[in-house]
Structure 1
Amino acid sequence: MTTTADEQHAILEQVRKALHSEPRVRPTAGPIRLAWSEGALVMEGEVDSLAGKKLALEAAARVPGVAGIVDRLRVRPATRMGDGAIRDAVRDALLGEIVLADCTLRERVKGRLETVREPPDPHGEIVISVEDGVVTLDGEVAGLGQKRMAGVLAWWVPGSRDVVNGLGVNPPDADSDDTITDAVRQVLEKDPLLAAESITVTTHRAVVTLDGFVPSEEQRHIAEDDAWAVFGVDGVINRLEVRP
């Protein structure tokens, strides 16, 4: 159903209120910009964390009248890096991950597709490209575990502002709460910046709950961002306590 200009204006005001009511949505370069494009809500700007980005999108999606969202939100990088440096870091991270050892790796460099690795018996292909700090992963892999790990490793590069995980999975891999739980737990244990031994993970309808405790508020936020970085996670409930 087509909305009038007045109705669209009213919806935008409700979205702004929804964003202001979520304290974890913290823009870093001025307010999040909102507009309409072909009936979809366009959200553009920069926030301070991956959790903030996801929560902003969730808050907007709950507003009546928002039927679709064009996501142009970016995350403030931990370190400002050029696209070439980000691409190199993503490439090196994927090359070093044993779960992806049987995947062909290629990267787009100045419009050219260059082969980084081609195993003798490849099972899948990942193509890395970076533009304005946004990492895009294209190609096809053999399972959801590979798709998820590739996406998380791209998010972990300190210059990444967003990750578009366009990897297909062939043959199709059935997902479940249990597999999401396993993936999140694996990511938390793999993160070198996190002490994850006292964190428990449960998942219900793709919403992940983190329980337990960590030694600092910073690690509490790191754990939540790690969970959000896992493909297929629709929500994160962070119940971690800080115990120095």
Structure 2
Amino acid sequence: MRTEERIVNEVAAALERETSVNLHRFPLQLGFSDGILTMEGEVDQIMAKKRALEVAAAVPGVAWIVDRVRLAPASAMEDGEIREHVCTALLADNQLASCAIWAMVKGKPEVIRETDQAIGSIDVEVRDGVVVLNGAVTSLSAKRLAGVLAWWVPGSRDVINGLDVSPSQEDNDDEVVDAVRLALEKDPFVNASQIRVSCAHYTVTLEGLVRNETERRMAEADAWYVFRVDRVTNLLRVET
């Protein structure tokens, strides 16, 4: 058996063992060449996407991954509609009020918000349901918040968060905790005051009480949406 075929088979076997990845309902296409694994297809939730990438990266011989894994959209939307919703969400958030907002339409920038005292700039482009954020913001929290807001748009199939942070900040677990808390506080369907958040090596743990199983799942999804979160341990309990 050739090395390429063996590694593809090992990745497929690892994905079969991962309970959050349902290859029978959402099959993924795998290809491998020169240390680069290509993964393509749809999954039903953000957890499945991130876990699939992590599991594949752990297979010996996989040096790089070309990520073409997309979420099955909650609502079918055209790219222009997704872009409009993302821009509206960014405009409405007070923590991003100092940022200029630009929409990239057919490769050309269109001003959504520009002020004389703009601190930071966010460019929003959507390609086949994939939201691409470029520009620069002043904090890691702002970068992560912009990404979560983009993920929350029902038509979003993926978010590529290319925002720079200027001046640069050192990332750490405390920064992740702050971002997850912020996401939970902004989610109208989650009671963040009842949830405790901790993080170790980019693995987030959620503890506390929620009203129902739906809120439990939504809180976990919010944590997964945060940039650089590699794993979420959901210890939330449903009130009885």
Q: TM-score, normalised by structure 1?
A: 0.93
Unaligned runs of 5+ in 2: none
Deviation at 1:195, TM superposition (A): 2.8
Q: Which amino acid aligns with 2:233?
A: I
Contact persistence 2:26–2:44 (CA under 8 A): no
Contact persistence 1:28–1:48 (CA under 8 A): no
SS in 1 for 2:199: strand
The superposition leaves residues 113-153 of structure 1 with CA deviations (integer Å, 9 ceiling, x where unpaired) of 11111122111111000010000001111111111111010
Question: Are residues 1:185 and 2:189 paired?
Answer: no
Distance 1:28 1:13 in 2: 16
Residue in 2 that maps onto 1:217 = 213
Question: Are residues 1:41 and 2:56 paired?
Answer: no
The superposition leaves residues 65-116 of structure 1 with CA deviations (integer Å, 9 ceiling, x where unpaired) of 1111111000111111110100000000000011111111101112221111
Contact persistence 1:90–1:153 (CA under 8 A): yes
Question: Are residues 1:175 and 2:174 paired?
Answer: no
Unaligned runs of 5+ in 1: none
Deviation at 1:157, TM superposition (A): 0.4
Alignment of 1:1-244 (within 5 A): 6-27=2-23, 30-243=26-239
Contact persistence 2:82–2:155 (CA under 8 A): yes
SS in 2 for 1:85: helix
Instruction: Note closer, same or farther for the CA distance 1:107–1:45 as it changes in structure 2 (3 Å cut).
Output: same
Deviation at 1:30, TM superposition (A): 4.2
Contact persistence 2:125–2:132 (CA under 8 A): yes
The superposition leaves residues 149-170 of structure 1 with CA deviations (integer Å, 9 ceiling, x where unpaired) of 1101000001000000000011
Contact persistence 1:142–1:171 (CA under 8 A): yes
Identity level (%): 50
Q: Which amino acid aligns with 2:155?
A: G
Q: Which amino acid aligns with 2:55?
A: A
SS in 1 for 2:188: coil
Deviation at 1:215, TM superposition (A): 2.5
Contact persistence 1:28–1:76 (CA under 8 A): no
SS in 1 for 2:193: coil
The superposition leaves residues 6-63 of structure 1 with CA deviations (integer Å, 9 ceiling, x where unpaired) of 1121111111111111121135864111002443000000000011100111111111
The superposition leaves residues 164-213 of structure 1 with CA deviations (integer Å, 9 ceiling, x where unpaired) of 00000111012221121111111112111223332111011221111123
Q: Which amino acid aligns with 1:31?
A: P
Q: How large is the RMSD of aligned CA atoms in angstroms?
A: 1.6
SS in 2 for 1:108: strand
| 228-237 or 154-163, which deviates more | 228-237
Instruction: Note closer, same or farther for the CA distance 1:29–1:139 as it changes in structure 2 (3 Å cut).
Output: farther
Q: Which amino acid aligns with 2:154?
A: P
Contact persistence 1:212–1:240 (CA under 8 A): yes
Contact persistence 1:33–1:45 (CA under 8 A): yes
Q: TM-score, normalised by structure 2?
A: 0.95
Contact persistence 2:41–2:69 (CA under 8 A): yes
SS in 2 for 1:197: helix
